[in-house]
Structure 1
Amino acid sequence: MRPFLKVEKMSVGYGTTTVLDKLDLDIEKGEFVALLGSSGCGKTTLLRTIAGFAKPFSGSIRVADRDVTQMPPDKRGMALVFQSYALWPHMTVAQNIGYGLKLQRQSRHNIDARVKEMQNLLGLAGLGNRKPGQLSGGQRQRVALGRALAVDPEILLLDEPLSNLDARIRLTVRHEIRSLQKRLGITAIHVTHDREEAMVMADRIVIMNAGRIEQEGSPEDVYNKPASPFVAAFMGAENLLSMHARVHGEQVELMESAFNLSIVTARAGRTLTTGPIELRFRAEAARLASSADKSALEPGALELRGQVASVSYPGGHWRHAVSLGGNEILVDADTPFNQGETVKVRIPAESLFIFNAAEGVTETRAH
């Protein structure tokens, strides 16, 4: 079956700078896809090109087998919700929601009915005569969403629409958007730099880095099976150790260093070769134990020996910076250990993300 939206070998840039180079992306009908990445990775350029606000040098964009590559934005069957909401300040809520329908020259009766439907759907009933300046951030965001949905688009494009909301409202609105998308069965593409936002909203996450797709998959896949050091770090595995490994068939031996004994763990489908490796893990995945703890290590788990450099309480757990020589890793625990205490850091096999290191990176270090 052919994808509903197909981006094929698309290259986009500004002047002589290429932002996206021969990029391919398939999206199914009714799917919610998050484009995730840090600033400058190309995710907004990709969204704007799909919408028709940027023109590719080469490649094509197809929607339901229609080639829309050269079509103007209003002919593509898409609607874009901007980061700034882009509401008309002099218009009422009802006029803003009905703006796209007015451009389509629909009848006053149809516009009024559709605007009323959108207001009810988005919890804006009774606010139709207010101006945007009289609304809260969350309400303005809903008006922008209503204006986009009123024209009944085939594809809803969301350009960081929650970034201007405060943290508490953002949690509510992202669940509202997700449940609305599911109820309407609409195809949605959502640009965000917020990992958690992508995880809770999307069916599939497309992680972008330097103008290319680094990995795409379900939230569980990209979180638990990162395909590269970049993805592992972006998905929260910010602790970094550089070590040496010896690969024997389906097993990987992590060699002894000043901070760990050698262990053997499963290769588990990883593409690894003998030599320097980059190992990443999350602060919450590791377990902290006292140096006197004699409990047995789980098979394939890594145990590090270090010293507590500092302790803080970000809420819900204690965060420890553990020194491994001149470097530090972060480890969370339910109870605090003392600063200066010698500890064991135990990381289960399934929480170890192991990659072949770039050439020349051999010393043990942590970020």
Structure 2
Amino acid sequence: MTASVHTSTALSWLDGDAQRRRDAGLQRVIRPRTDTTALLDVASNDYLGLAHHPAVRAGAHAAIDGWGCGSTGSRLVTGTTTDHEALEDELAEFVGARSGLVFSSGYTANLGAVTALAGAGSLIVSDALVHASIVDAARLSRARVSVAPHRDVAAVVDALASRSEARALVVVDSVFSADGDLAPLRELYAAARRFGAVLLVDEAHGLGVRGRGGRGLVEECGLAGAPDLVVTATLSKALGSQGGVVLAEPAVREHLLHAARTFVFDTALAPAAVGAARAALRVLRAEPDRAHAVLRHADRLARALGRSEVPESAVVPVVLGDPDAAVRAAERCRANGVLVGCFRPPSVPRGESRLRLTARADLTDDDIATVGDVVTSAVAAV
């Protein structure tokens, strides 16, 4: 599909915006996948290698056979099936939460949870590098927002200690998507408890990778089921499906049923995605080493790139700084059979454009060696 040309003077400003993106090396192109076997994929978030797993595909097919393709309405009208509720119970039990509520995506789960738990007259304290869905949720909440420097617990404490608002919500990713580093969850939870705040943790990149058998960083830190703690997660990464979930105390779930607009007014998650997610969770329970394999492979991938530091997650970044250099390196990788992620502003701060590589449980030693050779050569060439 080719780029369109503006057809009215009222939209002529779009041409200027497009030119500025091109000048900054930030123009993006949608590139559909074709033959998935043609490229060695270290760009996707399919950390456990479950998106094409036979049992997961069978789970999706069975759900379609039972419920049809569409969910037909919002969760509060016709969209909730017994499979939706079973998935909620199974996810909550797996991570050690008391209840769960499934949304149509991880994005809508964050929007719904943050806006429902914070509003005008409350404070949100947010890590500077949280996912865009949390940034958008904070803006929409009408709460006062204090952005703390990345992983700076002291700044969070200062913001909570000096607040005048009665309610406060601290929001953070457990695993940060671009760098792959971990949030100091124990310290943040202690700070939130000390000052009567709620801690909301997005486990999008932690579920299936960190914790006992992939139960997430919250579980790994001994915080599973803790009071005044809310966990969000996506089903579209390690579980190879689609959708999002909020995991928390039953009172939070009940509140979200009424106050989370992305739950009340959005069409429910499609049955196929529910069936696939349930099947993926069963595979992970039966094969917990998949989670540990991700971290082992991330370590091998980093060493193949000449890195000495051990990755804390599936994410292995190669920071190049210049966005054009990152694009050229990614294209060289693709031309040599390796698909890598290419992150530029606003996905990362200015000056930190990068290749983003992700380890998967199903990578082989030969795969990792190939990635190391191709990426090292591509980076040297730019």
Give the TM-score taking structure 2 as reference length: 0.28
Q: Which has the higher contact order (CA 8 A, sep 6+)?
A: 2
Bigger strand fraction: 1
Bigger helix fraction: 2
